[in-house]
Amino acid sequence: MIIVVKPNSTQEQIDHIVAHIHGMGLRTDVSRGIKRTIIGVIGEEDAVRNAPLAAIPGVEEVVPILKPYKLASREYQAEDSAIDVGFGVKVGGGSLGMIAGPCAIEGREILLEIAKHVKAAGANILRGGAYKPRTSPYSFQGLGEEGLKILREVGDELQMPVVTEVMDPRQVELVDRYTDIFQIGARNMQNFNLLNEVGQTKRAVLLKRGMSATVADLLMSAEYILAGGNKRVILCERGIKSFDSSTRNLLDLSIVPNAKGLSHLPIIVDPSHATGRPDLIPAMALAAVAAGADGVHIEVHSCPEKAMSDGPQALLPGQYAAVMGQMRQIAGLLNRNIPAPHGSTQSGRQ
């Protein structure tokens, strides 16, 4: 439930409301807006369902939230969230996060080459995997901490925030030293121990939809992170399992307006993992922007045939630059903000 505080309430009254809720064995999340303050009640609400909370001094209204994802819901926060991910880049609230880079970090020289290309095209977030969850245990598993160091160095050199996957709660502390955004992959969307762990950090989280997950499943996973205190969650559609083998997965673009109607969290689309086909990625990227996505995540490699992971689904730098130009045109029609080519930012890593 949500407790709406009266506009003229004092800080002492707000503290009293919070203490009262804590005394009932529940947690609170205080959100101070421009015009008023609301207090989210976190936990099983049966204990307070019939409690006379409206009688507490300073309380204007008590609003029940029927959805199981309380903090992620539009009922809790009506306005879109805009997540600051570093170097002045925001995702959501009209600003688009354009994520690009190779599937896996293979070395400093090749990553820097790719990063320069995608930044020149207008990408504002650099991706690269240091830990790779692969179907086969014999496939390339990533460079680990050495890859994280390379990613951080290249991101700092080009003034781009970086995103990389974290696969295990035991990796969170290490990855947190180097990344600007944790990526939770589809296979780990319901790894609740991992969600709880990143929820204890202040680092932004890119949460990918599981391969068979519903929209509600995705939002409940986001709720684990939000309930831990980390409000910087970005949802990601990357395709779900289908009977059709002509594409890698089935890209569900309806999730974009669907999730936006249910939640204030930004949502981006990953057509690379969804289709697995470079010939389909441009059209699906354009459709994602037209559907209202808060960003697009595309894998790019300067020599896909030599890539150590997911080369067949990567765009060449020139192809990426072309689709970025097209996405920029569509975004302009919708009053959305895609970075201009060769743009630079000033502020640093958070």
Question: What percent of the chain stands above pLDDT 70?
Answer: 93
With bands split at pLDDT 50, 70 and 90, how would you rate the model's confidence at 134?
A: low
Query: Angle at the Cα of 229 (from 221 to 217), degrees rounded to 5?
Result: 10
In a domain, 347, yes or no: no
pLDDT at position 136 is: 64
In this structure, the answer to whether residues 200 and 151 fall within a common structural domain is yes
How far, in Å, CA of 91 to CA of 295, rounded?
7
Residues 273 and 144 grouped into a single domain: yes
What's the rounded mean pLDDT across residues 326-339? Answer: 90
pLDDT over 50 at 345, yes or no: no
Same domain for 34 and 135, yes or no, is: no
- Per-residue pLDDT at 140: 60
Q: Is the pLDDT of residue 161 over 80?
A: yes
Check pLDDT > 60 for residue 255: yes
Q: Residue 27 forms beta bridges with which residues?
A: 42
Q: What's the gap between Cα 349 and its chain centre?
A: 17
- Quick one: pLDDT at residue 137? 67
Query: Could you tell me if residue 94 is left (phi over 0), alpha (psi between -120 and 50 degrees) or otherwise beta?
Result: left
| 76 part of a folded domain | no
The distance of Cα 292 from the centroid of its chain, to the nearest Å, equals 15
278-299 pLDDT tens trace: 999 999 999 999 999 999 999 9
- Asked if 241 and 151 sit in the same domain, the reply is yes
Q: Is residue 73 part of a domain?
A: no
Number of domains in the chain: 2
Answer yes or no: is 340 within a domain.
no
**Would 39 be classed as within a structural domain?**
yes
Give per-residue pLDDT as tens, 17-66: 999 889 888 888 888 876 778 888 887 767 677 788 888 999 998 888 87
Residue 38 and residue 95 share a domain: no
339 within a domain of the structure (yes/no): no
Domain CATH code at residue 300:
3.20.20.70
Contacts of 71 (CB under 8 A, 6+ apart): 29, 40, 42, 223, 226, 227, 231
The mean pLDDT of the chain is: 91
* Residue 9 and residue 153 in one domain: no
CATH number of the CATH domain containing 22: 3.30.70.1140
Q: Domain check: are 91 and 228 in the same one?
A: yes
Structural domain boundaries enclosing 6: 2-63
- Does 174 map to a domain? yes
Q: Average pLDDT in the 112-121 region?
A: 97
Same-domain status, 295 and 219: yes
Where residue 229 falls (left for φ over 0; alpha for ψ -120 to 50; beta otherwise) is left
**Between 132 and 181, where is the model more confident?**
181
Start-end of H helices in the chain: 11-23, 108-121, 145-158, 172-178, 192-199, 215-227, 255-262, 271-275, 281-291, 317-333
Q: How would DSSP label each residue in 171-217? A: GHHHHHHH-SEEEE-GGGTT-HHHHHHHHTS-SEEEEEPPTT--HHH
List, for residues 167-220, the tens digit of each pLDDT value. 999 999 999 999 999 999 999 999 999 999 999 999 999 999 999 999 999 999
Quote the pLDDT of residue 116. Answer: 97
Q: Is residue 97 part of a domain?
A: yes
With a CB cutoff of 8 Å and minimum separation 6, the contacts of 116 are 158
Q: Specify whether 55 is located in the same domain as 131.
A: no
Same-domain pairing of 58 and 92: no
Number of other residues whose CB lies within 10 A of the CB of residue 78: 9
Question: For position 119, what pLDDT does the model report?
Answer: 97
The whole-number pLDDT of residue 135 equals 61
Q: Which range (111-115, 150-154, 181-185, 340-344) has the least confidence? A: 340-344
Whether 222 and 299 share a structural domain: yes
CB 163 within 8 A of CB 181: yes
Say yes or no: 264 and 130 in one domain. yes
DSSP-assigned letters across all residues of 226-278:
HHTT---EEEEE--B--S-TTSSSB--TTHHHHHHHHBSS-EEE-HHHHH--T
pLDDT digits (tens, 9 = 90+) for 64-99: 887 889 999 998 898 999 999 999 999 999 999 999
**What integer pLDDT is reported at residue 344 of this predicted model?**
42
